[in-house]
Amino acid sequence: MTTTELWCDRCGDPAPAGTAHPGCASARELEPPRYCHRCRRRMKVQVLPVGWSAVCVEHGEIRG
């Protein structure tokens, strides 16, 4: 793992283009992210009735 490599935030596999794979991107319309796209760590995700939050221990929180 390098700091320049990017990961799919749904499946955690490499995504060098910096975006989710096409199939994953489609699924992500109805799912929050599960992996940090910067380091591949599994995030702690809380889904709420409106929105979600995802926390990477290294890279902090994102919300959607």
Partner 1 sequence: MPEILDQARTQVLGDGVGLDEAGVLAVLNLPDEHLPAALQLAHDVRMRWCGPEVEVEGIVSLKTGGCPEDCHFCSQSGLFTSPVRSVWLDIPSLVEAAKQTAKTGATEFCIVAAVRGPDARLMKQMREGVAAIKAEVDIQVAASLGMLSQEQVDDLVDMGVHRYNHNLETCRSYFPNVVTTHSWEERWETLRMVRDSGMEVCCGGILGLGETVEQRAEFAAQLAELNPHEVPLNFLNPRPGTPLGDRPVVEGKDALRAIAAFRLAMPRTILRYAGGREITLGDLGTRDGLLGGINAVIVGNYLTTLGRPATADLDLLDELKMPVKALSATL
Interaction between residue 62 and partner 1 (CB under 8 A): no
Q: Is 26 helix (H, G, I), strand (E, B) or coil?
A: helix
Q: Which residue in the set 7, 15, 20, 32 belongs to the binding site for partner 1 (CB under 8 A)?
A: 32
Q: Torsion angle of alpha carbons 18, 22, 53, 43, nearest 10°?
A: -70
The only residue of 35, 36, 37, 38 in contact with partner 1, by rule CB under 8 A? 35
3-state secondary structure of 7: strand
> CA-CA distance, 49 to 14, in Å (whole number)?
30
Please pick, from the candidates 42, 59, 60, 63, the single residue that binds partner 1 as defined by CB under 8 A: 42
| Interface residue list for partner 1 (CB under 8 A) | 11-12, 29-32, 34-35, 42-52
